[in-house]
């Protein structure tokens, strides 16, 4: 007996070996996709009639700071360094475990509502982030964000905490939580510290999540300090590999692009955040052209200001087209791959496709909307016309987290009310 059967669906498989299926069936059992096709002989405890709707893999957000929902709209329209050093970092110093827990609950709620089934997170108070993820039912690759600024004593403390978190949470929540090491960036972490992080990650058999060349200021700093940019700096210490997730990667030369591709580095493109902070335009089309694995991320709500991956897909496609004046780059299907297949690969999870024995992480998109009518090309609609509010059902690990727009896994109104109170308390602490 299967757990769930979804029938009468347009199945956007995202499987390169399989075409989309009209009026298809998806059978889910024990958290996995067991069967896909035009019909099935299986029976299930739960049947969902998805007539007229699209079933597709859940979206994968490969760079996020979930607890930063606390700072949604807190310090807008500022340069990155001013924003970080004079507003965000001082505010984060006043944040409590409970603040991060509530902030992450809200982030999980927002992602479940808008069709994200897995995300990569790097932040602080990570035990509370993991607790919120566990309780929500979503999937996540979590890392404690480590900064040493060349301070040996601080480096020891940071790596100890990062290691503790990795060991304690990896594989928890029925395997939905995986852990990573999270050195913040090459310009905030020393050379020796980055070497130690890489060695420890290899030893623990987990991945690494790091910011790289988000700004021109980082590029200039690294060249002044070390005579090379971040890409070559990290290459020289054997940091790069297919176990690394590098967020942003904006200020790249053609040589840098080749290095990232040759080493199989996973890249998270955070287009909305990059635009808002005027950080620059990542050379996504060039990266994809040489075979690099480029995925999509929202970054935190302080620099986005939402976690809607549908919005991220559309913006990514449009910005690349206008930046190089070529309307053919990043076509809809390729952008969908970035948000599903490529994202799952970046996190090392068996999701991102509707395929037998893959994780049953999928969403149902409601096509009975004026802005989605008529529907000539489903992939195009998912990128250029749909938004997160069109997701009616979200399933992760074979569990229904939202059905017919009703969130089942979290107390939505309670979380919203708690955040309203928490944000007021936090501002009073910051200003005291």
Q: Cβ atoms within 10 A of the Cβ of 171, count? A: 10
- Residue with structure tokens 């809607």? 308
Q: Any binding-site annotation on 77?
A: no
In the three-class reduction of DSSP (H, G, I as helix; E, B as strand; rest coil), residue 164 is classed as helix
Q: Cβ atoms within 10 A of the Cβ of 14, count? A: 21
Q: Any binding-site annotation on 243?
A: no
The C-alpha atoms of residue 231 and residue 251 are separated, in whole angstroms, by 10
Residue 154, judged by CB atoms within 10 A of its CB (0-12, 13-18, 19+), counts as middle
Of 309, 382, 239, 257, nearest to 63 by C-alpha is 309
Which H or E run includes 417? helix 412-431
Q: Any binding-site annotation on 214?
A: yes
Residue 204, judged by CB atoms within 10 A of its CB (0-12, 13-18, 19+), counts as middle
Q: Find out whether 273 and 304 touch, Cβ atoms under 8 Å.
A: yes
Q: Any binding-site annotation on 371?
A: no
Q: Any binding-site annotation on 269?
A: no
The C-alpha atoms of residue 369 and residue 359 are separated, in whole angstroms, by 29
139, two tokens: 């999937």
Report the relative pairing of strands 293-296 and 21-29 from DSSP bridges. Answer: unpaired
Q: Any binding-site annotation on 299?
A: yes
CA 176 to chain centre: 14
The C-alpha angle 59, 60, 64, rounded to 5 degrees, equals 125
Q: Which residues of 405-424 are buried (b: 16+ CB within 10 A; e: fewer)?
A: eebebbebeebeebbeebbe
Residue 288, judged by CB atoms within 10 A of its CB (0-12, 13-18, 19+), counts as buried
The C-alpha atoms of residue 142 and residue 104 are separated, in whole angstroms, by 12
Q: Find out whether 24 and 393 touch, Cβ atoms under 8 Å.
A: no
End-to-end CA gap in the chain: 59
The C-alpha atoms of residue 104 and residue 106 are separated, in whole angstroms, by 5
The C-alpha atoms of residue 189 and residue 173 are separated, in whole angstroms, by 31
Q: Find out whether 269 and 295 touch, Cβ atoms under 8 Å.
A: yes
Q: Any binding-site annotation on 211?
A: yes
Q: Pick out the residues of the known binding site for substrate.
A: 92, 184, 214, 299
Which parts are annotated binding residues for Zn(2+)?
A: 63, 65, 211, 299
Q: Please state the residue numbers annotated as binding site.
A: 63, 65, 92, 184, 211, 214, 299
């Amino acid at each position: 007996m299967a757990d769930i059967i979804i029938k009468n669906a347009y199945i956007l498989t995202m499987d390169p070996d399989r075409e989309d299926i009209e009026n298809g069936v998806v059978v889910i059992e024990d958290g996995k996709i067991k069967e896909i096709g035009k019909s099935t002989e299986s029976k299930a405890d739960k049947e969902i009639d998805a007539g007229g709707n699209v079933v597709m893999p859940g979206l994968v957000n490969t760079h996020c700071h979930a607890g930063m929902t606390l700072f949604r709209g807190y310090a807008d329209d500022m340069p990155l360094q001013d924003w970080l050093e004079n507003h965000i970092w001082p505010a984060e110093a006043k944040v409590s475990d409970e603040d991060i827990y509530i902030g992450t609950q809200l982030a999980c709620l927002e992602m479940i509502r808008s069709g994200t089934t897995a995300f990569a997170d790097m932040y602080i108070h990570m035990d509370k982030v993991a607790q919120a993820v566990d309780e929500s039912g979503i999937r996540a690759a979590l890392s404690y964000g480590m900064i040493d600024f060349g301070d040996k004593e601080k480096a020891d403390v940071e790596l100890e905490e990062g290691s503790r978190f990795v060991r304690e949470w990896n594989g928890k929540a029925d395997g939905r939580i995986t852990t990573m090491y999270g050195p913040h960036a090459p310009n905030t972490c020393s050379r020796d510290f980055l070497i130690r992080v890489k060695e420890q990650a290899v030893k623990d058999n987990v991945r690494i999540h790091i910011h790289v060349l988000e700004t021109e200021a980082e590029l200039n700093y690294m060249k002044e300090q070390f005579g090379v940019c971040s890409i070559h700096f990290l290459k020289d210490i054997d940091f790069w590999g297919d176990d690394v997730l590098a967020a942003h990667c904006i200020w790249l030369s053609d040589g840098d692009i080749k290095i990232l591709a040759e080493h199989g580095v996973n890249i998270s493109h955070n287009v909305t955040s990059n635009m808002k902070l005027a950080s620059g335009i990542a050379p996504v089309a060039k990266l994809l052209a040489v075979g690099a694995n480029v995925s999509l991320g929202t970054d935190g709500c302080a620099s986005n200001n939402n976690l809607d991956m549908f919005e991220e897909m559309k913006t990514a496609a449009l910005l690349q087209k206008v930046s190089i004046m070529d309307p053919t780059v990043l076509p809809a299907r390729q952008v969908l791959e970035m948000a599903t297949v490529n994202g799952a690969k970046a996190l090392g999870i068996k999701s991102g496709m509707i395929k037998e024995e893959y994780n049953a992480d999928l969403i149902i998109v409601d096509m009975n909307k004026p802005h989605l009518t008529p529907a000539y090309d489903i992939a195009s609609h998912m990128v250029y016309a749909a938004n997160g509010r069109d997701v009616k059902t979200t399933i992760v690990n074979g569990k229904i987290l939202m059905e017919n727009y009703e969130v089942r896994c979290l107390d939505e109104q309670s979380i919203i009310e708690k955040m309203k109170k928490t944000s007021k308390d936090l501002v009073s602490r910051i200003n005291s």
